[in-house]
Amino acid sequence: MTTSLLNSLLRALLRWGAALVFCLPLRHRTHFWARACGMLLPLLLLAQLLDPLAQSTTLWQQQLLLLVLYISFFALLGGMIYLCTDINKKGALYCAVWSLLIAQCAYESWCFLELQFTRYGHPLNMASPWAVLVQLLSGAVFFAAVYILLARQLPYKGEYNIGPRQLFSAFFIGILFMVQAAVLDNARAEQTPLSLTVTILIGQFYFITLLYFQSELFKKSAMEKEMSELNLLYERQRQQYQVARQNVQIINRKCHELKVQIADLRRLQPDEAATQSLDEAEQAARMYDANAATGNEVLDVVLTEKSLLCEAQRIRLNCVADGTCLAAIEPGDLYALFSNLLDQAIDAAAQQQNDRRMIDLLVCRRQGFAVINVIGPALSGSQSDHGRRHSYELKVARRVVQKYSGTMATEPRGELFAVKIVLPLTRG
């Protein structure tokens, strides 16, 4: 095997390994390793085709070809990341920029290591098994460090929140980095002064740092956006309590009036046919007269509201609740807590077959604490709009629990999903 082929194989492996490092922290698609390994061959073919051209020309031609090389690998690595992980296209292309830069850093590190062997009188024969082994081991150590120190830290909750402007700026930074890489390769070939090489390396380090700080700004922006949305949802639900309370009171009053009218009609029309029709009307009215009685007015409002929603979607809500143990919680907070817990349980139950549409709710006192258990079906399709909304709902619930010095745990139980909350009976 020729040195040129080995060099192309090395570069292809470095680019593939760098892309793999940025794939690992993300959510994987099915057959992840098969997809990833399948991308190694096109990377090798492209490296064998383009890498020799970029290294066998004058500097300005080299930079032009390097641009073609960069764009080609940029697209190919972006496609690899997109096919292997659950990420959007902009996020995949952004990771591709990082992959190319890290792969180039790994290659330059290897060149430096090779130079040191040569300097101390032990030049490496690139065709020997020992040289290949040293390459593989040094690459593995390098990528392990990149994974621990960088790749795991860049995504925010397994996602890259990248817009068009951020992607363009990252792409531009990548071009400048690779131009400097071409200058460095040329300087190495012509044995230019060490000061120029150091200057180029400092420039590359600057671009890597700039891209990293850009990523951190994206992450901070995503965190601030999420916090703003959580605050908005929290305040809306706190304010929703008075509206829900009034609605429940109106429903109860109308149901009471309807029952009185039905009783009057029974007296006026005692025949059997009319009685059957009135029984059906009374049963329908009773369905909306679902006024809970837990000893806590706020909890009564929430349970009444959600019971009507469950009835409309044919969901059985099994509730055993002692609302007196929640007296220390402010009405707005209590409404937000139970509204979020039950909304996500109702949405998950609505996706199930009729015999599996069931939610269990327990609120009780236990050893000086108020215990809340909610068990319902697990939500399918966590990346759907429902899944994202439920994530926010659970975060709002967790915020309320933390406000009152409690603990909240979520636990998947096969096809079920359980939420357990423990609150002290008196605050903090």
Boundary of a domain, candidates 165, 192, 219: 192
Residue 408 clears pLDDT 90, i.e. is over it: yes
Closest CA to 241 of 325, 324, 334: 334
Residue 212 belongs to some domain of the structure:
no
104 vs 180: CA distance, rounded Å: 11
Closest CA to 76 of 108, 105, 36, 126: 36
Domain count, the chain: 2
Give the helix/strand (H/E) hosting 269.
Answer: none
Residue 300 clears pLDDT 80, i.e. is over it: yes
Phi first, then psi, for residue 355 (nearest 5°) are: -75, -10
Q: Are residues 356 and 278 in the same domain?
A: yes
Q: Are residues 29 and 133 in the same domain?
A: yes
Q: pLDDT tier at 370 (50, 70, 90 boundaries)?
A: very high
Q: State the pLDDT at residue 82.
A: 93
Q: State the pLDDT at residue 382.
A: 46
201 vs 211: CA distance, rounded Å: 15
Better-scored residue on pLDDT, 382 or 191 = 191
Residue 274 clears pLDDT 70, i.e. is over it: no
Mean pLDDT of 212-236: 77
Q: pLDDT tier at 351 (50, 70, 90 boundaries)?
A: confident
Residue 258 clears pLDDT 70, i.e. is over it: no
Q: State the pLDDT at residue 96.
A: 92
Q: Are residues 176 and 236 in the same domain?
A: no
Residue 257 belongs to some domain of the structure:
yes
Cβ count within 10 A of residue 385: 8
Residue 90 clears pLDDT 50, i.e. is over it: yes
Q: Are residues 240 and 360 in the same domain?
A: yes
Q: State the pLDDT at residue 22.
A: 92
Q: pLDDT tier at 1 (50, 70, 90 boundaries)?
A: very low
Boundary of a domain, candidates 146, 172, 192: 192
Residue 70 belongs to some domain of the structure:
yes
Residue 31 belongs to some domain of the structure:
yes
Q: State the pLDDT at residue 41.
A: 85
Average pLDDT along the chain: 79
Q: State the pLDDT at residue 293.
A: 73
Q: State the pLDDT at residue 361.
A: 92
Residue 221 belongs to some domain of the structure:
no
CA atoms within 13 A on the CB side of 235: 6
211 vs 204: CA distance, rounded Å: 11
Tens digit of each residue's pLDDT (9 = 90 or more) over 374-394: 998 887 654 444 556 667 778
Cβ-contact 216, 318 below 8 angstroms: no
Closest CA to 287 of 268, 269, 307: 307
238 vs 306: CA distance, rounded Å: 16
The pair of three-digit structure tokens given for residue 157, joined into one six-digit string: 């909750």
Residue with tokens 């390793």: 33
Q: pLDDT tier at 428 (50, 70, 90 boundaries)?
A: very low
Q: Are residues 179 and 237 in the same domain?
A: no
Q: Are residues 324 and 416 in the same domain?
A: yes
Q: Sign of the CA dihedral 226, 230, 236, 237?
A: positive
Residue 205 belongs to some domain of the structure:
no
Residue 30 belongs to some domain of the structure:
yes
Q: Are residues 252 and 339 in the same domain?
A: yes
Q: Which of 81-90, 124-133, 277-286, 351-360 has the highest mean pLDDT?
A: 81-90
Tens digit of each residue's pLDDT (9 = 90 or more) over 25-76: 998 999 999 999 888 888 888 877 766 655 555 656 666 777 777 788 889 9
Which residue range is the domain that position 417 belongs to?
A: 229-424
269 vs 255: CA distance, rounded Å: 21
Helices and strands, number each (H, E), in the chain: 12, 5
Residue 389 belongs to some domain of the structure:
yes
249 vs 301: CA distance, rounded Å: 9
Q: Are residues 237 and 187 in the same domain?
A: no
**What is the 8-class DSSP label of residue 147?**
I
CATH code, domain with 388 = 3.30.565.10
Q: Are residues 182 and 234 in the same domain?
A: no
Q: State the pLDDT at residue 277.
A: 65
The pair of three-digit structure tokens given for residue 365, joined into one six-digit string: 């006192």
Residue spans of alpha helices (H) in 120-193: 129-146, 164-190
Q: Are residues 161 and 244 in the same domain?
A: no
Q: Are residues 260 and 395 in the same domain?
A: yes
Q: State the pLDDT at residue 384.
A: 45
Q: Is the pTM of this model over 0.75?
A: no
Residue with tokens 């359980």: 418
Mean pLDDT of 116-127: 67
Mean pLDDT of 234-253: 68
134 vs 128: CA distance, rounded Å: 10
Q: Are residues 322 and 250 in the same domain?
A: yes
Boundary of a domain, candidates 147, 166, 192: 192
Cβ count within 10 A of residue 297: 11
